[in-house]
Amino acid sequence: MTARELLTRCAAAGITLAAEAGRLRVAGPAEAVRELTPLLREHRDELLVLLAGSSAAPALTGGAPDPGVPADRTCAACAHRTSAGTCARPVEAGLAAHFAIRWPPAGHAAVCKAFERQQLAAHGSGTQTHPFETARRNWTPATAKELAAMEQRHRRAVVLGLDPQQADLASDVLHWRDRTGDDRRLCLECRSLRVGTTSRWHCAALHLPLAQQLVTQPHRCETFQDLQEERHGD
C-alpha cells in the first residue's frame, strides 16, 4: 500500500490525519486507528510530506492561488469537507474525474472551484450545512406529494442509523434538491448504501466505509444506483 492509498483508506475509515510540527496527529474511531497504526508508522514520513502539500501532492486544476484569496479559505471552512477530512465534491473540486474518496491537498481550497463557505449549522447538526440554503429563502409550503416523499425519506434515514435531526436535514435537503432540479444524489438514495459493521455506513458498490457527509450531502457518484428504480422494478 502506498502512502496515498493509506490516506484514502484512513479517510474512508473516518480517521483524520494532520501534520503538526513534524509530528503525525491521528484521530478517529479507536478500532480503526488500532488497525491502521502499523501502516501509519511505516508510512509516517511520506504521510507528513503529503499532508504538508509538498510536490508529492496531486496536480491541482485551478491554477495559482489568487493573492487576494482570504487566508481562511480552507477546506476546514468549506461546507463540502467531510468529518473524515475528505472532499464530498471531488469532481467539482477537480480532485477526481468521477466520484471517489479524495483527501484535498494542502492549499487546494484557495483555488478550488467548488469551495463553499460553511454558512449555518442546520438543525443542530454541527458543522453540516444546508446545500440549498439560497433556494430555501424563497420558501413555499410543501405539497402533499412532497410531504409524503419527505416522510418516506425520513423513515429510511432513521432505519439507516441517522438520528431524527439528521434525518430531518437529509429529507429537507432532498426536498430542495428536487425543487431546484439539481442532479446530485445522496448515498441515502442509493441501493448500495448499507449499515456497516466496522463503520457506520458502507458502500456495497465501492466496498468502502462512508463518511456521513456522503450519506447526507449531495454529490455525483458514477456508481450511484437509484433505490426508487429498484422499487419500481420489483
The number of residues that bind ligand SF4 (CB under 6 A) is: 25
Among 16, 118, 127, 192, binds ligand SF4 (CB under 6 A): 192
For 115, which DSSP code?
Answer: -
Q: Which of 191, 189, 171 has the alpha carbon at shortest distance from 179?
A: 171
Q: Does 224 bind ligand SF4 (CB under 6 A)?
A: yes
- Please report, in angstroms and rounded to a whole number, the separation of the first and last CA atoms in the chain: 41
Least distance from C-beta 142 to ligand SF4, angstroms? 25
| Identity of the residue, 4 or 142, whose beta carbon is nearer to ligand SF4 in the bound complex | 4
Among 9, 80, 130, 177, binds ligand SF4 (CB under 6 A): 80
Among 193, 211, 213, 216, binds ligand SF4 (CB under 6 A): 193
Least distance from C-beta 34 to ligand SF4, angstroms? 25
Q: Does 150 bind ligand SF4 (CB under 6 A)?
A: no
CB 21 within 8 A of CB 30: no
Q: Does 51 bind ligand SF4 (CB under 6 A)?
A: no
Q: Does 187 bind ligand SF4 (CB under 6 A)?
A: yes
CB 187 within 8 A of CB 57: no
For residue 118, give the H/E element and its range.
Answer: none
- Can you read off the three cell numbers belonging to residue 181? 432540479
**Measured CA distances, 205 to 32, 223, 225, 231 (Å):** 21, 7, 9, 18
- Can you read off the three cell numbers belonging to residue 75? 477546506
- Can you read off the three cell numbers belonging to residue 162? 441517522
Binding flags for ligand SF4, 86-115, as an x/- string (CB under 6 A): -x-x---x-----x----x---xx--x-xx
CB 193 within 8 A of CB 201: yes
Q: Does 175 bind ligand SF4 (CB under 6 A)?
A: no
From 2-10, 20-28, 54-62, 199-207, give the range in contact with ligand SF4 by CB under 6 A.
199-207
Q: Which of 199, 230, 205, 226 has the alpha carbon at shortest distance from 100?
A: 205
Least distance from C-beta 23 to ligand SF4, angstroms? 23
Cα 199 to Cα 9: distance, rounded to the nearest angstrom:
12
List residues binding ligand SF4 (CB under 6 A). Answer: 75, 78, 80-81, 87, 89, 93, 99, 104, 108-109, 112, 114-115, 187, 190, 192-193, 203, 205-206, 214, 221, 223-224
